[in-house]
Structure 1
Amino acid sequence: MTNNSENFKTAPAKPEGGRGPSVKRDPVDFHGLLLVDKPSGISSHDVVARLRRIMGTKSVGHSGTLDPMASGLMACLINEGTKLSQYILEGDKGYRVRIQFGIRTDTLDTTGETLETKPVNLVEATLLAEAMKLQGEMEVEVPIYSAIKVQGKKLYEYARSEKDVVIPKKIMNFWDVKFLGMGQDWAEFDLRCSKGSYIRTWVDLLGQALGCGAAMSGLRRTYSAPYILEQGQTLEVIEECVKKNTLTGCFVTMDAALPMVKRIRVKGQDQVLLGNGQISHDLRSQLIAAFNPDSDQFVQVLSMEGKLLAIVGLESGRGFVLKRVFKY
């Protein structure tokens, strides 16, 4: 097998134009998502800080933290787009992971302190068999070096202060595990997981199953539902686009941010009432006709011109409720 480590290098800047037509819009007035191809070596907070400067707004968030060693897709939220955070965060994720066998560390990746080393004698058939077993839902401990809070304190704070703590368990779900290649003491896989699942944990479980230990040595996010890495752009390309006042296909407008969520349209007085936080009788009738409680969690309400106005949900005992109203 060939060494595929180049998959974890920062992707070269993609040509301007992205996957959609360029549009002229003042970036300060942009509301929606920005699909960023994050390089390794910087934190998610660093990406947000740089986008605040590039876009000229403090209202910037993101759809899930990537560790500094990781690269790949970050769906960042701009201005009114920050109100979409909970809907984007809930989505599944996809990753390309590189694994170093024969080592265990305190952080479950190769940036941590080594706890144990063992000789490695990888057999491809055994490796594949054990990797494919690690699919589906499983309840496992979260990494001690994670931001999950226990009694108001982040787990990594307990770890750094060497204080005892009961490590919580969590349901994680992994699927679509695909083998990419291997060497004497390493391997690479593509896989998908549910929100809040830790790839480091999956790697550690694989190392335990093989009896030699393992640590994550590279990670690249390839998917953040419903977006793929190829739709993203580097920070450098994004900055150049903003300087030219040309927003490319990596900029996703509010009306296109949730393509999997059903939508209905309103106009006139129905739209005015919606802006005031009220659901009109006619809109309620539309919602009843459109909403399927078995498959729909939310419905998007747009103007006739296609502007996202609100997200509506159905709550037991309350009926239709405005979850978010957008004003831009």
Structure 2
Amino acid sequence: MARRRPATVHGTVIVDKPAGPTSHDVVTMLRRRFGERRIGHAGTLDPSATGVLVVGIGNATRLLRFATAGRKSYECEIVFGVETSTLDAAGETVATWSMSLRPADVADLARSFVGTILQLPPMVSAVRVGGRRLHEIARSGDAADRVPREVEVYRFEVEATGDPLVYRASVDCSAGTYVRTLGADLGSALGGGAHIRSLRRTRSGSFSLTDAGPPDQAELWPPAELVRDLLQIRLSGDEAAVARHGTHLADLRYTGSGPWALFDPEGRLVAVHELVDGRLRAMVLPI
């Protein structure tokens, strides 16, 4: 008798990633747990980092891009006086400084980074240059012409600890911001250098640590959770039938600039509509 193929799983899992495994390792764990190959995540965390990792399973992977654009929140420690090759505690020491810091000066300089700033992507990042990821270029020993990228920092607060060269930091920022670069740049602004350690993502979009669980226990939520931060439109039964065929609704009132998540009268996600080059594009989610 032929083995029965397990039913396809569609959904959202909010993982509290532990230190050690990569984000891809977490995906592998979830593939084994749910028996589903189509799994992706929204926003990589380094192996040593912990915290909120948003994961889409099955058809929900098509919605992940709507979850990656939200603001992120992090906590970490900044260690001043030591610069590392990776800008975090996993790297090798490349320079040291004798630094004497006043908490008020450190806090004032940290606040000066709030707003729209330019960041140079670290060489250990996944940013592509010439078709290759920077971390691949770094491992090969080749040079890369990195281009600063514009990011938004909404909050950068630091607090002194019992160690005069270690400060706790809290950061709210846009997607694509590198907290390790913030720490290193703050060290440079103070006349020396720095690296970060104990990085923990506490929030990704509207998902927080209270929503998250370990990879083997995290709850499976409906795919629609991935678009809960989008503008939402509740359709009538007739409108939902039209939308399920990938047709936009000419008489539907789209407010704002989108994207819009469209739900049927029972609250099930039917489609996501968005403006692309000034034209409305419909993505149907057949679940």
TM-score by length of 1: 0.80
1:326 alignment counterpart: 285
Quote the Cα distance in structure 2 between the aligned partners of 1:35 and 1:256: 10
Q: Which residue of structure 1 aligns with residue 117 of structure 2?
A: 138
Which residue of structure 2 lines up, in the alignment, with residue 148 of structure 1? 127
The residue number in structure 2 matching 1:296 is: 257
Aligned to 1:81: 60
2:93 alignment partner, one of 109, 114, 131: 114
User: Which stretches in structure 1 are left out of the alignment for 5+ residues?
Assistant: 1-26, 239-249
1:165 to 129, 133, 144: 144
Q: Does 1:259 align with 2:228?
A: yes
Relative distance call for 1:251 and 1:236 in structure 2 (3 A) is: closer
**1:18-52 Cα distance to aligned partner (Å, 9 max, x none):** xxxxxxxxx95542311110001110000000011
CA distance in 2, matches of 1:255, 1:82: 11
Q: Which amino acid aligns with 2:124?
A: Y
Relative to structure 1, is the Cα distance of residues 314 and 156 closer, same or farther in structure 2, using a 3 angstrom cutoff?
closer
**Residue in 1 that maps onto 2:270:** 309
Instruction: Tell me by how many angstroms 1:204 deviates.
Output: 0.6
Measure, in 2, the Cα distance between the counterparts of 1:52 and 1:120.
Answer: 47
Cα deviations by residue, 1:194-227 (Å, 9 ceiling, x for unpaired): 1111001100111101122101122000010011
The runs of at least 4 consecutive aligned structure 1 residues that moved more than 4 Å come to: 27-30
Segment of structure 1 superposing worse, 85-94 or 137-146: 137-146
Q: Secondary structure at the match of 2:153?
A: strand
In the alignment, which residue of structure 2 is the partner of 1:23?
A: none
| Structure-2 residue corresponding to 1:203 | 183
C-alpha distance in 2 between matches for 1:74 and 1:317: 32
Shift of 1:267: 4.8
Once the two structures are superposed, the pairs formed by residues 1-328 of structure 1 within 5 Å of their partners are: 29-182=8-161, 183-238=163-218, 250-279=219-248, 283-286=249-252, 289=253, 291-292=254-255, 295-316=256-277, 318=279, 320-322=280-282, 324-328=283-287
Q: Secondary structure at 2:37's aligned position in 1?
A: coil
Residue 14 of structure 1 corresponds to none
Read off the aligned partner of 1:147 and give its amino acid letter.
A
Which stretch of structure 1 is more off in the superposition, 256-265 or 185-194?
256-265
Question: Does structure 2 retain, via aligned residues, the 8 Å contact 1:254–1:307?
Answer: no
Alignment check: 8 A CA contact 1:255 1:302 kept:
no
- Is the 2:237–2:265 Cα contact (8 Å) retained in structure 1? no
Give the corresponding residue for 2:3: none
Query: What is the TM-score when the length of structure 2 is the normalising length?
Result: 0.91
Q: Return the offset for 1:272.
A: 3.5
Question: 5+ unaligned residues in a row in structure 2: which ranges?
Answer: 1-5
How far 1:271 moved relative to its partner?
A: 3.3
Which residue identity lines up with residue 296 of structure 1 in the other structure?
A: S
**Mean CA deviation greater in 180-189 or 57-66:** 180-189
The AA in structure 2 aligned to 1:80 is N
Aligned partners of 1:181 and 1:189 also within 8 Å: no
Report if the CA contact (8 A) 2:107-2:159 is conserved. no
Provide the secondary structure at the position in 2 that maps to 1:196: coil
What SS is found at the alignment partner of 1:190?
A: strand
Give the letter aligned to residue 66 of structure 1.
L
Letter of the 2:231 partner, please give it. K
